[in-house]
Amino acid sequence: MTSQDEIHHHHHQHKNVPYTKSSFAILLAAFSSLAGWFFGYDQGVTGGIVVMSSFKNDFCIGVYANASVCDLPVAALPADYRRFIVLFTLLYNLGCFIGAIFISSFVAEKYGRRAIIFTSASLFLIGTLIVILPPGGSKKIMILILIGRIIEGTGVGCSSFSCPLYASEIAPTNLRGMLSGFMQMTVVAGLFAANVVNFLIQNHKWGWRLSNGIILIAPITIMIGIFFCPETPRWLFKNKNRESAEKSLQRIRKIENVTAELDAIANAIEEEGNQRSITELFTTKKMLQRLGVGMAVHFLAQTSGINVVFTFGGIIYESILGKGIVSLLILSSANMLSTIPALFLFDRLGRRKLLIVGALGMVVGHFVAATVFAIGCDVIKTSINGTIVNEQIISCLPSFGISMLVFTVIFVCFFAISWGPIPWIYAAEIFPLNIRARAVSITTGSSWFTCIMISYALELIAPLGIHGVFYLFSSLCLLAAVVVYFFCPETTGVLLENIEREFDNFHWKNRTIIQVLRTSCQRIYKKNG
């Protein structure tokens, strides 16, 4: 996304860049976005496999407890087994953080965009093989599998940085927004595909291994296909020479005269040469404000509860409806169908408006789902010294369980049209060109770091209850709407060079609610004075 904005900036200075044939660029962007399947598929598959009998047979039965205990609702599962499930997700997110912050930018700058795409696919392939090949049944094997999850996550973290970067650098200006959206589409498509696969093979004796193994088609395809893709002209210009960049651009654009676009790239690279120190992000008030906003939108996107719904939703709805995998399939279908119109809405309605509306819609979804559970489900709570340590669901009225699922679907739909795609776009738009790469790297890292913390959500079910967790996320979604209202100016339709002016004119003290309260207090003071 960083480079997308850089070239977009210079598009306003170089309007004579010719309109060109786009089919090859579209093909390249679509190919690079296959890495989105890594994140989407893994997120979807994890939520389903943890409720499969094959997974329980390998990691719970005979390791932590017998079959009857391992089939209990989530809060009643053995604590050590529940902790393994948490680590299965947490260490994956830790790997994503490592890949996004410490590996991707180094490899992409030093060895090229194709190199980091190949690296991300290789790491995901190696990690997945470590996860699915060892036999279950012992704690030592489980440690090896958790190491594999870190490696898997590292590959995903690298791809989350590199693939949108590659797509934006090879895309023609008139298609850059659409092609950058390919990654989001492949993420949700991968999530949906994972739940379809889980549904079809949930009862197979190797079910969880097969579900994880099928995704290996994507990294193998990328590792082979990337050798047939050109390096981006921008990287070649910066690290090789103009002639190499020209040949690559001619191949991508399918025309001979690419001088104007090469000049735009040259100007962008020259401006980058004046890049500020990363310490300026933390020492300059204006930059610190924007860094806070960029990190906040990523943080609030993750604390909305979306990853908990898809990662642990299978366990939760298995306890409520007895159909965890089917519930995940319904939720992922809603996510995919809602993402399609989102690609067109955020440029027409605006980032800020969609973020606020989306957050309020998510509040309703979570709040009603939690209330339905509290009213319609009977539970037995076990406490030690006044502290609740277990909550076992005895029964949920079918209509209440279905209603809870419906409102979770509503939550997912509002997320998909707003907090799914927009934080990644918004955080890349609000920084000046000569510091944007470093700033976006930090905001991306904050997203994965938040995912690590959210991985502990399963442990909150015992003390808070399922409805308590949903109420918590509802409150955080309300906080998201408040933060956007007071601190996030609109960036849609604003030239990148004018973003700073938008932030200068946008202050929380000038928001309508604050103005009304301030005016009312002044009137009361004058009246009593």
Give, in order, the Cα–Cα distances in Å from 387 to each of 133, 455, 466.
40, 22, 16
Cβ neighbour number for residue 454 with a 10 Å cutoff: 22
Q: Cα 74 vs. chain centroid, distance in angstroms?
A: 25
pTM over 0.85: no
- The per-residue pLDDT for 16 is 41
d(CA 49, CA 353): 37
User: What value does the CA radius of gyration of the chain take, rounded to a whole number of Å?
Assistant: 24
Give the domain ranges of the chain: 22-230, 280-529
- Answer whether residue 516 shows pLDDT above 90: no
- The secondary structure of 337-363 as a DSSP string is HHHHHHHHHHHHT-HHHHHHHHHHHHH
> For residue 7, what pLDDT band results from cuts at 50, 70 and 90?
very low
Q: What number is the average pLDDT over the span 317-322?
A: 81
- Answer whether residue 1 shows pLDDT above 60: no
> For residue 441, what pLDDT band results from cuts at 50, 70 and 90?
confident
Angle of helix 457-487 relative to helix 351-376, nearest 10 degrees, comes to 140
d(CA 136, CA 129): 14
Rounded to the nearest 5 degrees, what angle is found at the Cα of 138, between the Cα atoms of 133 and 144?
50
Residue 197 near residue 211, CB atoms below 8 Å:
yes
d(CA 80, CA 379): 22
- The per-residue pLDDT for 12 is 42
Run of H or E including 140: helix 139-170
- Write out pLDDT tens, residues 123-177: 999 999 999 999 877 888 999 999 999 999 999 988 887 877 787 788 776 665 5
Q: What's 61's DSSP letter?
A: B
User: Which superfamily does CATH assign the domain made up of 22-230 to?
Assistant: MFS general substrate transporter like domains (1.20.1250.20)
Q: What percent of the chain clears pLDDT 70, i.e. is strictly above it?
A: 81
- Answer whether residue 447 shows pLDDT above 50: yes
Q: Is residue 139 packed enough to be buried (19+ CB in 10 Å), middle (13-18) or exposed (0-12)?
A: exposed
d(CA 123, CA 135): 21
- The per-residue pLDDT for 405 is 93
CATH class of 280-529: mainly alpha
Minimum mean pLDDT range among 88-97, 308-317, 330-339, 509-518: 509-518
Q: Is residue 504 packed enough to be buried (19+ CB in 10 Å), middle (13-18) or exposed (0-12)?
A: exposed
Q: What number is the average pLDDT over the span 175-204?
A: 81
Which candidate, 17, 496, 520, places its Cα nearest to that of 253?
A: 17
- Answer whether residue 356 shows pLDDT above 50: yes
Q: What percent of the chain clears pLDDT 90, i.e. is strictly above it?
A: 30
Question: Do the domains spanning 22-230 and 280-529 agree at the CATH topology level?
Answer: yes
Lookup: tokens for 74: 């989530």
Residue 299 near residue 477, CB atoms below 8 Å:
no
Lookup: tokens for 236: 């070649």
- The per-residue pLDDT for 288 is 87
- Write out pLDDT tens, residues 43-57: 888 888 888 989 988
Q: Is 27 strand, coil or helix?
A: helix
Angle of helix 79-98 relative to helix 457-487, nearest 10 degrees, comes to 40
- Answer whether residue 66 shows pLDDT above 90: no
Q: Is 2 strand, coil or helix?
A: helix
d(CA 243, CA 260): 14
Cβ density class 47-68: b for 16+ within 10 Å, e for less: bbbbbbbbbbbbbbbebbbeee
- The secondary structure of 223-280 as a DSSP string is HHHGGGSPPPHHHHHHHS-HHHHHHHHHHHHT-S--HHHHHHHHHHHHHHTTPPPTTH
Higher-confidence position of 380 and 294: 294
Q: 3-state secondary structure string, 373-423?
A: HHHHEEEEEEEECCEEEEEEEEEECHHHHHHHHHHHHHHHHHHHCCCCCHH
Q: What number is the average pLDDT over the span 472-487?
A: 94
